[in-house]
Structure 1
């Protein structure tokens, strides 16, 4: 429901004052706010509207939510959110937003070309940016407040309510039989996925993964400012939209990247986030939540249809709706899982090769180095036989979660010993998934050179040095005759991208 504006805001007067001081004023609008850009400043004014999921009709409420917007968004973008100011009846800026004047959020202005939905179209999304973004989201999730266990946030019932509501609201717009049939399919698949995941959803709440997140994390709410990735404009007006599983928070961005055809970036973001967080138990939920987020966007496209639109404009909105509906159905469709392992010495490029498989095939990479560091922070305990046994068993557990959730999994470790390789081959056979080996061929002088270069560059989590390499060179147990049948050999001195692309092409044609 929409409530009319109770009193006209003195926007034109404010714009004139801003123009007198700064020159050009840019006035942007959404369905819930006005945003004025002038000089180095941005001012956001909440419209006095009631949409059911938000209510800004009362000035005290608008003031409360302005302060909430500052509080919440300073978690990720402290330099961007400056404070709450006011707009008086004459359209003049007041530094303190008391009860008699209109509250505004005061932000630092940035170039709209730096917003990632715009930036990506002209500059692309490079690996460094995606890795930085993934780790920043993980750090944000780790620091976010955990939902009280007795709250309704993140319970299965709370999770399913907006999913079901989407279908109810969408059906009121549909007249085409094909659209109605597709929505029936998506709803059936969503309900089936929910019922299968219901215990997992409940367990995630109990284990503290329902947190006060961002709620609206997509490329339009992320910017690259002064070389730094900054996430902004989180949900302040509805707690149910904000308090959710961290997997749900992340899934919105993964869906948005996929919709925009940045498939490699989406796949890399997921793997790097999981490597940073260790939260591989989120894997069964990612596609389910991505489908939900796609259906939210599909619904919003229909909400954007107005009677005063031209036929072409309305057709454009329907095209957006169908694009997101197709994407939701794609996320809910059965997938083909497989298990891959690397075999190679430290410095051979296993992690580079495995990341190429992530971006080409949509696999999820798990690095033994990352799990060893996570579970054995004391170096003295990190490389004992007991630690190595624990790490490989833990990698088995992670691979099992991913495979059962329908993800291709790539385990990045040296796998020099046949017994370790056999563990994973047996896992794949037991679960009924294809098993493959990526064998990285690299001669000793090249390995030594690569290790020296990696050490000089820094930044890699691997702790292997030349002494470790020399020991490894004596430990490799050759592949068995059976292993050769499902092994792909890669040359370390040739681009992995091309070699992996050839493998994936051969497997999918």
Structure 2
């Protein structure tokens, strides 16, 4: 038997030249790229391949795609992507960069980020911080806001095509027994049918836009102190031009996957804070969107023969496809009682992933004045008429989100009887169950917490706290909770005091092993 000779790599000489020119210390080869790394620079070369979803078979096609890669990634990482370089062959036969000779190849030049700066590694090592996730969420929101709507792509038909393509891939490289795959595909199709009208309405409203397309933790780094998405999808507008919440869902799913539910919930809430009611009506789609993202990763990992990882993604995809329940949970208490910490601990426990929408009176007040969350507002911002406006906006927002069937946590002082009555009325108008909790903590502990605040969203001082104590609160009928413990225990007590039917509903968490998550705590 004779064997055909293995054809030579047409890019071998170019890669050798670039490695020498760059003084490369490492080479990474993926299915579509060859990446050369030196101490402070990166050269990224498109491989000469032709796949069902992309064509890099000629230098001209690769050059066009390199140019697109630079242009599209500069939306997210302008400091990381330096530009496009051309490899040319000069009259003496030697290769050079950006010479006057014949064009040979195109290369993307990037600055190199530290090896320990990938968010995927930082997440596993619990080095991600709340501040990093907040800045990342705002950066993604700004990119989505700046992108132009696309009314031709996306919609329910596009999501249906994703499921059809995924079914083929899952059958070719199954991450689980076929009966489980069939059942989950049927569940995904049911979820899509139930949400098709909302998905199409969002496309008509301009929610489908050019996005990153591959917004997972492996494609985010900390560069010069800033959370920086990179390596977006450049080879297919159909893959990257999607509903903005489907783009965000990859990040949320990935944070959930590595056992960081509170950071996933934080990312969702800060993104929505930046885009407000423009995106909140899409919350019912998150379970489907996150589940699809996990299922796609399941078949990718299975195709690469990573059986255990593929099974984990598939199990996660099934768990994420959970129903939602509208509910309003109000957390009140004097300044320093730990309301915001308790709300942040509680929100990820309210399914489906990534948990409840949180409305915080301090944050809404800062937004009203166009201030950053840690800016200190002037005294006029705390006039009674301003406070009434802030609380009214908070009540309206809680009603709006609960009405679409999504859980809401409202965090405010609630020392006035009329405010406690108003938030309960908002839940009633939304047709949602209401639960009110008052956090109890002795004055010395509250004073100590207020004194210790640094760069906090609350402007309350010990003078403000002491003034609160002189006001008439009326009878507080909400359930009193001891706030002298860690926030997670406060959140657990709140869950334990919901109605039995809701406790059972929310116990079906989207985290396959929640006890394991808690044993490896978040920052």
Q: Could you tell which deviates more after superposition, 326-335 or 93-102?
A: 93-102
Matching of residues 190-339 of structure 1 within 5 Å:
190-278=188-276, 279-304=279-304, 314=305, 316-317=306-307, 319-335=308-324, 338-339=327-328
Do 1:86 and 1:94's aligned partners in 2 also have CA atoms closer than 8 Å?
yes
Do 1:19 and 1:25's aligned partners in 2 also have CA atoms closer than 8 Å?
no
Q: Which residue of 2 aligns with 1:365?
A: 358
Q: How far apart are residue 20 of structure 1 and its match? A: 7.3
Deviations 1:143-178 (A, max 9, x none): x32214xx312333233322332224433455x9x7
Do 2:400 and 2:430's aligned partners in 1 also have CA atoms closer than 8 Å?
no
Matching of residues 86-235 of structure 1 within 5 Å:
86-88=86-88, 92-95=95-98, 100-142=103-145, 144-148=146-150, 151-173=151-173, 179-235=177-233
Q: Which residue of 2 aligns with 1:310?
A: none
Q: How far apart are residue 237 of structure 1 and its match? A: 0.9
Q: Which residue of 2 aligns with 1:477?
A: 473
Q: Which residue of 1 aligns with 2:12?
A: 11
Query: What is the alpha-carbon distance in structure 2 between the residues aligned to residue 297 and residue 445 of structure 1?
Result: 50
Deviations 1:108-146 (A, max 9, x none): 12233221212323343222222222222222222x322
1:353 to 310, 335, 342: 342
Deviations 1:236-268 (A, max 9, x none): 111122222221111001111222222232222
Q: Could you tell which deviates more after superposition, 48-57 or 216-225?
A: 48-57
Query: What is the alpha-carbon distance in structure 2 between the residues aligned to residue 331 and residue 136 of structure 1?
Result: 25
Q: How far apart are residue 79 of structure 1 and its match? A: 1.7
Query: What is the alpha-carbon distance in structure 2 between the residues aligned to residue 199 and residue 50 of structure 1?
Result: 36
Q: What secondary structure does 2:421 align onto?
A: helix
Query: What is the alpha-carbon distance in structure 1 between the residues aligned to residue 300 and residue 287 of structure 2?
Result: 20
Q: Which residue of 1 aligns with 2:3?
A: none
Query: What is the alpha-carbon distance in structure 1 between the residues aligned to residue 496 and residue 99 of structure 2?
Result: 62
Q: Could you tell which deviates more after superposition, 197-206 or 65-74?
A: 197-206
Q: How far apart are residue 191 of structure 1 and its match? A: 2.4
Aligned in 2, Cα 1:222/1:215: closer, same or farther, shift over 3 Å?
Answer: same
Q: How far apart are residue 209 of structure 1 and its match? A: 2.7
Query: What is the alpha-carbon distance in structure 2 between the residues aligned to residue 270 and residue 220 of structure 1?
Result: 19
Query: What is the alpha-carbon distance in structure 2 between the residues aligned to residue 12 and residue 263 of structure 1?
Result: 47
Matching of residues 463-474 of structure 1 within 5 Å:
463-464=459-460, 469=465, 472-474=468-470
Q: Could you tell which deviates more after superposition, 89-98 or 160-169?
A: 89-98
Aligned in 2, Cα 1:97/1:167: closer, same or farther, shift over 3 Å?
Answer: farther
Deviations 1:325-350 (A, max 9, x none): 22222121224554211112334332
Q: Which residue of 2 aligns with 1:307?
A: none
CA-atom RMSD in angstroms: 3.4
Gaps of 5+ in 1: 305-313
Q: Could you tell which deviates more after superposition, 208-217 or 340-349?
A: 340-349
* TM-score, normalised relative to structure 2: 0.80
Do 1:112 and 1:118's aligned partners in 2 also have CA atoms closer than 8 Å?
no
Query: What is the alpha-carbon distance in structure 1 between the residues aligned to residue 100 and residue 391 of structure 2?
Result: 58
Query: What is the alpha-carbon distance in structure 1 between the residues aligned to residue 161 and residue 328 of structure 2?
Result: 35
Aligned in 2, Cα 1:170/1:391: closer, same or farther, shift over 3 Å?
Answer: same
Query: What is the alpha-carbon distance in structure 1 between the residues aligned to residue 397 and residue 163 of structure 2?
Result: 28
Query: What is the alpha-carbon distance in structure 1 between the residues aligned to residue 424 and residue 275 of structure 2?
Result: 26
